[in-house]
Structure 1
Amino acid sequence: MNSKAVAAIATTLLGCGLNNVFLEYIIKQDPGCGHLITFAQFLFISIHGFVMTSKFGTVTPKIPFQTYLILVVLFFLTSVINNWAFNFNIPVPLHMIFRAGSLIANMIMGILILKKRYTLEKYVSVAMITLGIIICTLMSSGNKKVEACVDCDIQVEKKEADDHFFWWIIGIALLTGALLLSARMGIYQESIYKHYGKHPQEALYYTHLYSLPGFLIYSPSIWQHMQIASQSEPYEIPIVNTIVPMLWLWIVLNVVTQYLCISSVYVLTTECTSLTVTLVITLRKFLSLIFSIVYFQNPFTIYHWFGTALVFFGTLLFAEVFTKLKQSNAEQKASKSVKKTS
């Protein structure tokens, strides 16, 4: 493995891991700022792409504007809905586990749209992932407890619990919709690449740039949470001795690490085999989940662990990681035996 691949693996684990840490810091303080986070990420990638990809608008895009429109709509809705779900009592660990179930959505869309057929192993792996997500979802439905007090009326407590559960259901519905939209976007993206060739950096830039006007719909929410961020606890940055609102610092760090995560995964796909990419991304998700549970003390029972194990094991099974590892070991043994005989 060359130094570029090693660096890509390290920056993927570091960038994506830190991104989840800063995201959780933000969500803990302001759960409703999903639109602001998404807008900040899109704006940063658009500015970076304008400078580095389009060279200040001097480079003509390889894919026409009209072709990008459907992709932009799907990408915008998926990104906004995923971050918006935090506003509906969805804990970060459940969010991670749920998004790990993208293979289910991909298989459903593949069967319905592309008329694909899969092996028994694929169906078993998706069944494991589905079961794991269902277990974690059900166990997370009662995580948020209504605090009791001596003078509280039991009916009021029950109403608050019912309200929490109602909005939690809305959050689950949003995550489910985002999964299906993401899978449909992947199929459409494949068709674009087949027709025009692969231009991932260009696609990354234009899907973010063309999505920016869509945030006008959420401008009241974005402005509201910008004010909340500006009024957050002040923090003095060492060395430069500059005081900034803590929430704005976390948002900036989240945006930067988000780009580091995306760009590192892109390098990873060009430098490593699909097996390595799958293993690294799965490991990254697992480490982020563990850190979220331990550091942020998110509630996680033995049932959550069982469901999580099903999700990650099913993901590795779907990606044929175990089969490829066996093949790789067999090839290495065969190569060694050939060298000994020669």
Structure 2
Amino acid sequence: MNVIAALAISMVFVGCCSNVVFLELVVKEDPGAGNLATFLQFVFIAVMGFCTVGKFGTAKRNIPFKQYLMLVGFFWTSSVANNYAFDFNISMPLHMIFRAGSLMANMAMGVWILKKRYPPLKYLAVFMISAGIAICTIQSSGDVKAPRETHKDAAEEERLQFIDWLWWCLGIAILTFALFVSARMGIFQESLYAKYGKHPWEALYYTHLMPLVFWLPTAQNLVGHVKIATETPMVEVFGITLPKQVLWLILYVVTQGLCISAVYVLTTECASLTVTLTVTLRKFVSLLFSIMYFRNPFTLGHWIGTLLVFIGTLIFTEILQKCVAIFLPASAPVEKKKKK
């Protein structure tokens, strides 16, 4: 493994894990700030891409503009839906577990759209991932917490809890929708790369630049959450005083850029197996940190579901089989001695 690959792997863990931490800090301060966080992320990457990939608007595209429109539609929808789900009482651990189930959605889309066929072991892996997500979802349904004060009247509190649960169900539906939209985007992206060649940095730039106009209808929502962010308590960092939520948003955006860049470098420097293993381990580390540091409720059922998701992922990507092959190599066939 070369130095660049090793650095990329370390940056995936540093950038992506810290990014999840800052996102959780953002949504804990303001559960509806997911849309604002996504918008700022898109602006940051679009500006960086304009300077580097776009060369200040002078670089020519390798993939036609019309093709990017479809890709942008998928990418923007899945990104906004994923972060907007936090506004519907979705906890960070459940959010991460859902995101880890992307292989299930990819396989379902592959079977449905591309008419692919998979070996039985992959179907088993997808069943494990689906079961794990279902178990975690059922476990979380009994502990839905909305950012509000408990009502003094028991009957009214029970009614409010039911409403909170309904909003949570909508959040689950949004996450499920985002999961399959992201999978459909992956299939479309594969077809683009097969036809026009791989241009990941260009795709990253245009998928963040072109959707910026989509936020115009949500301008009022963005302004509202900017106002909330500026009204949070002030903190001092390196001699600079700024609102706490503004600090979290800045750190979220910067680490998101670092995370995405590290993953893209990793895909160019390492085999897909290494990339998948790194990303999977990163998700697991982020989940553990979220549970331990933020004290998010996590029962035995959650742990069982989580293990099913991650073991299923390792089986699907054939990492587990290869690890077993390393430690338990197949014995060479013994040749029978021929009788003279």
Kept after mapping to 2: 8 A contact 1:233/1:246: yes
Give 1:23 shift: 0.4
**Distance in structure 2 (CA, Å) of the matches to 1:202 and 1:267:** 13
Give 1:326 shift: 4.3
Root-mean-square deviation over aligned CA pairs:
1.9
**Distance in structure 2 (CA, Å) of the matches to 1:117 and 1:296:** 41
Aligned partner of 1:213 in structure 2 is: 213
Aligned partner of 1:98 in structure 2 is: 98
Kept after mapping to 1: 8 A contact 2:89/2:145: no
**Distance in structure 1 (CA, Å) of the matches to 2:304 and 2:206:** 40
Give 1:321 shift: 0.4
**What pairs up with 1:1-342 in 2 under 5 angstroms?**
1-144=1-144, 152-238=152-238, 241-327=239-325
- Residues matched between the structures, number: 331
Kept after mapping to 2: 8 A contact 1:275/1:324: no
Letter in 2 for 1:317: I
Kept after mapping to 2: 8 A contact 1:43/1:208: yes
Gapped runs of 5+ residues in structure 2? Answer: 333-340
Give 1:322 shift: 2.0
**Distance in structure 2 (CA, Å) of the matches to 1:281 and 1:319:** 12
**Distance in structure 1 (CA, Å) of the matches to 2:328 and 2:195:** 38
Counterpart secondary structure, 1:211? helix
**Distance in structure 1 (CA, Å) of the matches to 2:297 and 2:327:** 39
Kept after mapping to 1: 8 A contact 2:144/2:168: no
Aligned pair in 2 of structure 1 residues 319, 243: CA closer, same or farther (>3 Å)?
Answer: same
Counterpart secondary structure, 1:244? strand
Q: Deviations over 1:212-266 (max 9, x none)?
A: 000112111100000011111111112xx11111111110110010011111011
**Distance in structure 2 (CA, Å) of the matches to 1:171 and 1:330:** 44
Counterpart secondary structure, 2:32? coil
Kept after mapping to 1: 8 A contact 2:74/2:181: yes
Aligned partner of 1:337 in structure 2 is: none
Give 1:327 shift: 4.8
Q: Deviations over 1:66-104 (max 9, x none)?
A: 111111111111000000000000000000000100111
Give 1:144 shift: 3.2
Letter in 2 for 1:280: T
Kept after mapping to 2: 8 A contact 1:129/1:315: yes
Aligned pair in 2 of structure 1 residues 145, 190: CA closer, same or farther (>3 Å)?
Answer: closer
Aligned partner of 1:340 in structure 2 is: none
Query: TM-score with structure 2 length normalisation?
Result: 0.94
**Distance in structure 2 (CA, Å) of the matches to 1:79 and 1:148:** 30
Give 1:323 shift: 2.2
**Distance in structure 2 (CA, Å) of the matches to 1:7 and 1:21:** 21
